Amino acid sequence: MAFPQSFLDELTGRCDIVDVVSSYVHLTKKGANYFGLCPFHNEKTGSFSVSPDKQIYHCFGCKKGGGVINFIMEEENLSFPDAVRFLAKRAGMEVPEDTGDRERDRLRVRVLSLNKEAARFFYRNLQSPEGAAVVEYLGRRRISRRTAMNFGLGASLDAWDSLLTAMVQKGYTKTDLLAAGLVVQNKQGRLYDKFRNRLMFPVFDVRGDVVGFGGRVLDKSEPKYMNTPETVTYSKRRVLYGMNLARKTKRPNFILCEGNIDVITLHQAGFDNAVASMGTALTTEQTRLLSRYTRELVLCYDNDGAGKSATEKAIELLKNSEFTVRVLQLPNRIVDGQPVKQDVDDFIKGQGAAAFEAMLSGSEDQVDYRMEAVAAKYDLTDDKQRVAYAAEISELIAKLPNAVEREVCAGRAAERAGISREAMLIEVERAGKRLYRKERRAAERREMNPVAQLQPQDRSIRYTDVRSAMAEEGVIRLLLRDESLFPACAGLSVEEFSSPLLGKIYGALTERRAGGQPLTIAALSALLSAEEMNHLSALLQKPESLSRAEEALKDYIRTIQDACLRRSGNPETDPLLAAQEKNRKKKGYGGKQV
């Protein structure tokens, strides 16, 4: 145990979950619980529930759940010890010296310190003669000195171990440098700098800590961009470049770009609401981060194939979210009479900030963008292609949730294809029926396999004996709702549980009861993983009446123990196995040979 259990009990007692969650999520009371939009996945209708009685949260959409510590771990992307410290600071409590996870915590603090020193080293290089090539590159990209300072830009030298040598001299070990992803080890065991002869971009989290780095080459060599690998401080799925600055913007939306240079160019031009993902498509974790600061996103990716693909993926990810999503498509520029694709940096330098502001104001709704993208695939002067266009666009329109929007979009699509509005509406209706039949068949397949519906969502927690596991869940539900039922479980042991997870939970509850400690979900946070806490919160959402609690508990225990005997394969103690054995002997299988 990383912290004394008594300290964790007091901490969770002081940190009311409704109070903590409401500082991140707008909650509305409905009955005994509070509801709001889930901060962990995109949704328009609130399915995120917080129970003040149980001191747990649970999302009926994404199935995440747990106690107040789990919420902070998930929302702030913190380890268990760091989440405990976060809440302790909030509650004004002094954290006792922990006895476990100490090494990882020390490593995180050390890597953050090392990253800060490395950022200073790269920045100083930019001011030295050795950084002249990077300074020249910044000049070509028209990035001002002030902007470079604002983003903490730096230079990695054209040398094998300049950073390694400098950091070792400051007292950091080679193990520290490997853990931070700042050096690489070759097959012979030699260490050398990961970033060499590159423009360096420190990556800051929203708290202002340097969690990692990005580096860009100065010429045409590959890879063009290089980022810190996954480390104890850096996860590319959870960070957005420029977020530390963009979160302070007064603009009503955020602009999502593809690259670091695009973000820097936009900020320099006055668009301080620009951010970019770090070498990956937009992720759910990044949208959760964005949702803290805005409800409107403008997708402004490059207008090449990769950029359009990234736009489609982002729209798909955000389609059921609370975000209003618009798309800003940059026009091609004309060079020697030929259209040439351009990115944000090209546009700002060529057309200026005012032109970008005008395009930003007129950026398309995501539906308009997708309709334009479909139309661009077809030659609508050709009859066969018009038919193909009508088939694809009707599928897109049929998925729109609003009937009026479907009718308006169908009219626009019909006009573009040169067919009647009535014909397009018929195609949309047919597409809608096809989608409904497809969804219905999938639902029927699920309904025809009820056992599969009883299995935990996480495959690592599958039940081997579903009937017994349902009874085991019932025991845990009843004990957490009424502690006075514990004496009735005197004859039930952990070993009789078919599910290792449910057995572990039952054992922990039994130990806490014996030790006179409170039986709370929050108290199990240190024992269970995030996936296990999700499952525990989910099983607690199932109905369980207390009106006949003692009889129900006896039935559950009988089911568990009968199943245990059956699994043990002893026909003398299991009537079902005894009957099966008798039947086998009668037919001549086993026993005397016939």
On the question of pLDDT at 446 being above 50, the answer is yes
For the entire predicted model, the pTM comes to: 0.66
What pLDDT, on the 0 to 100 scale, is given for residue 2? Answer: 60
Residue 235: which of 290, 195, 283 has the closest Cα? 283
> What tens digit of pLDDT does each residue of 519-531 get?
777 677 777 888 8
On the question of pLDDT at 4 being above 90, the answer is no
Q: What is the mean pLDDT of residues 322-329?
A: 87
What pLDDT, on the 0 to 100 scale, is given for residue 452? Answer: 58
CA 526 to centroid of chain Cα atoms: 21
Amino acid identity at 12: T
What pLDDT, on the 0 to 100 scale, is given for residue 537? Answer: 86
Asked whether the beta carbons of 428 and 398 are under 8 A apart, the reply is: yes
Asked whether the beta carbons of 588 and 594 are under 8 A apart, the reply is: yes
What pLDDT, on the 0 to 100 scale, is given for residue 92? Answer: 86
What pLDDT, on the 0 to 100 scale, is given for residue 591? Answer: 39
What pLDDT, on the 0 to 100 scale, is given for residue 45? Answer: 78
pLDDT mean across residues, the chain: 85
What pLDDT, on the 0 to 100 scale, is given for residue 1? Answer: 44
Residue 51: which of 72, 66, 63 has the closest Cα? 66
> What tens digit of pLDDT does each residue of 199-239 get?
999 999 988 999 999 999 998 888 899 999 999 999 898 89
Residue 369: which of 407, 318, 334 has the closest Cα? 318
3-state secondary structure string across 271-291? CCCEEEECCCCCCHHHHHHHH
Give the Å distances, CA to CA, from 31 to 241, 456, 478, 500.
41, 27, 21, 35
Instruction: Give me the DSSP letters along 382-432.
Output: SHHHHHHHHHHHHHHHHT-S-HHHHHHHHHHHHHHHTS-HHHHHHHHHHHH
What pLDDT, on the 0 to 100 scale, is given for residue 5? Answer: 78
What sign results for the dihedral spanned by CA atoms 324, 284, 244, 279? negative
On the question of pLDDT at 585 being above 60, the answer is no
What pLDDT, on the 0 to 100 scale, is given for residue 540? Answer: 86
On the question of pLDDT at 433 being above 50, the answer is yes
What pLDDT, on the 0 to 100 scale, is given for residue 580? Answer: 47
Q: What is the mean pLDDT of residues 376-405?
A: 88
Q: Two tokens at 489?
A: 């479980």
Asked whether the beta carbons of 91 and 14 are under 8 A apart, the reply is: yes
> What tens digit of pLDDT does each residue of 32-78 get?
889 998 888 877 778 899 988 888 899 988 888 888 999 998 888 78
> What tens digit of pLDDT does each residue of 156-195 get?
999 999 999 999 999 999 999 999 999 999 888 899 999 9
Q: What is the mean pLDDT of residues 386-408?
A: 88
- Residue 435 CB contacts under 8 Å (≥ 6 apart), including other chains: 395, 398, 399
On the question of pLDDT at 589 being above 60, the answer is no
Which position has the higher pLDDT, 586 or 248? 248
Q: What is the mean pLDDT of residues 539-563?
A: 86
Q: What is the mean pLDDT of residues 576-592?
A: 47
Residue 286: which of 335, 237, 322 has the closest Cα? 237
> What tens digit of pLDDT does each residue of 454-504 get?
666 666 677 888 889 999 999 998 988 888 888 888 889 999 999 998 999
> What tens digit of pLDDT does each residue of 259-302 get?
899 999 999 999 999 999 887 789 888 988 898 889 899 999 88
> What tens digit of pLDDT does each residue of 331-341 get?
887 777 777 78
Q: Please state, in angstroms and rounded to a whole number, the distance separating the CA atoms of residues 76 and 87.
A: 11
Which position has the higher pLDDT, 330 or 149? 149
What pLDDT, on the 0 to 100 scale, is given for residue 84? Answer: 87
